[in-house]
Amino acid sequence: TWDRLPDERRRALYDSAAAASLAGRVGTLEDVTDTALWLLSAGWVTGETVHVDGGARHR
């Protein structure tokens, strides 16, 4: 979705998202895949909601 934005607008959106997260950066595809792989390997975890948002919900 964001790929359709002009570079300047996309950069402004990413900068705003980074400032809103506790991690101070925009998430990557690797952040999501690392979490999914961890969850798949965590045999004792059931029925959880994992928020992969860099802490943005806590600001």
Q: How far apart are CA 38 and CA 30, in angstroms?
A: 12
The 3-state DSSP class for residue 19 equals: helix
Q: How far apart are CA 11 and CA 18, in angstroms?
A: 10
Task: Note the pLDDT of residue 58.
Answer: 84
Task: Note the pLDDT of residue 8.
Answer: 96
Residue pLDDT, tens place only, 1-59: 788 999 999 999 999 999 988 999 999 999 999 999 999 999 999 888 999 999 888 87
Task: Note the pLDDT of residue 47.
Answer: 86
Task: Note the pLDDT of residue 4.
Answer: 92
Task: Note the pLDDT of residue 56.
Answer: 84
Q: Which of 44, 52, 48, 45 is nearest to 21 (CA)?
A: 52
- Alpha carbon dihedral 19, 20, 24, 25, in 10-degree steps, equals -90
